[in-house]
Amino acid sequence: DEFISSPPRKTVRFGGTLVDILMKYEKGETTDFELLKHQLSDPDIKDGQIINWLHEFRASVIYLTKEREQLVNILLKLPWLRRSREVVEEYLGFLGNLVSAQTVHLRPCLRMIVLQFVPPRITIREDDVDISDSDDDDENLSENFNTCHRALQTIARYVPSTPQFLMPILVENFPFFNKSERTLECYVHNLLRVTVYLPTLRLQILELIIEKLLKLDVSTPQQDIEDAEENANNSDSEEKSTEEGLFDMEEDEERKGNKVVSSSSERMAHPLAERLDILMTILFSYIKDVCHVNGKLDISNTKDLYRDLVSGFDKLILPTHASCHVQYFMFYLCSFKLGLAEAFLDHLWKKLQDPNNASVIRQTAGSYIGSFLARAKFIPVVTVKACLDLLVNWIHKYIDNQDKGANVYCDVALHGPFYSTCQAVFYTLIFRHKQLLDGNLRKGLSYLQSLNFERIVMCQLNPLKICIPSVVNLFAAITRKYQLVFCYTIIERNNRQFLPVVRSGSGGDLVQTCTNPLDSFFPFDPYILKRSKKTIEPFYQFWEELSAEDLENLKKPIKKGTSEDEDDDFLKGETPQNDGVVGIAPNSYESNTRSPLSSIGSPPDCYVPYP
Nearest-10 Cα torsion for 531, 532, 538, 542: -90
Q: Give the single-character DSSP code of 292.
A: E
Tell me, yes or no, whether 189 lies in a domain.
no
Tell me, yes or no, whether 377 lies in a domain.
yes
Low-confidence ranges of the chain (pLDDT < 70): 1-16, 122-138, 236-264, 403-408, 498-515, 545-611
Tell me, yes or no, whether 225 lies in a domain.
no
Closest CA to 279 of 174, 186, 381, 146: 186
Last residue of a domain, one of 463, 491, 523: 523
Last residue of a domain, one of 158, 184, 205: 158
pLDDT for the residue numbered 604: 55
Sign of the CA dihedral with 128 first, then 130, 135, and 140 last? positive
The rounded distance, in Å, linking the Cα atoms of 536 and 324 is 13
Task: Show the domain range for 385.
Answer: 356-501+515-523
Closest CA to 391 of 445, 444, 350: 350
How many structural domains are present in the chain?
2
Tell me, yes or no, whether 303 lies in a domain.
no
The burial class, CB within 10 Å (0-12 / 13-18 / 19+), for 180 is middle
The rounded distance, in Å, linking the Cα atoms of 529 and 280 is 9
Closest CA to 179 of 222, 134, 219: 134
pLDDT for the residue numbered 184: 95
Determine what percent of the chain falls in helix, strand and coil, rounding each to the nearest 5.
Answer: 60, 5, 35
Tell me, yes or no, whether 47 lies in a domain.
yes
- Asked if 346 contacts 334 with a C-beta cutoff of 8 angstroms, the reply is no
Closest CA to 467 of 580, 354, 368, 585: 585
- Asked if 281 contacts 531 with a C-beta cutoff of 8 angstroms, the reply is yes
* Phi and psi at residue 26, to the nearest 5°: -65, -30
Tell me, yes or no, whether 128 lies in a domain.
no
Tell me, yes or no, whether 23 lies in a domain.
yes
The rounded distance, in Å, linking the Cα atoms of 522 and 420 is 11
Closest CA to 162 of 172, 151, 173: 151
pLDDT for the residue numbered 308: 97
- Return the axis-axis angle of helices 31-41 and 47-59, rounded to nearest 10°: 130
**Position 177, amino acid:** F
Tell me, yes or no, whether 147 lies in a domain.
yes
Closest CA to 461 of 495, 394, 414, 529: 414
pLDDT for the residue numbered 601: 55
pLDDT for the residue numbered 260: 34
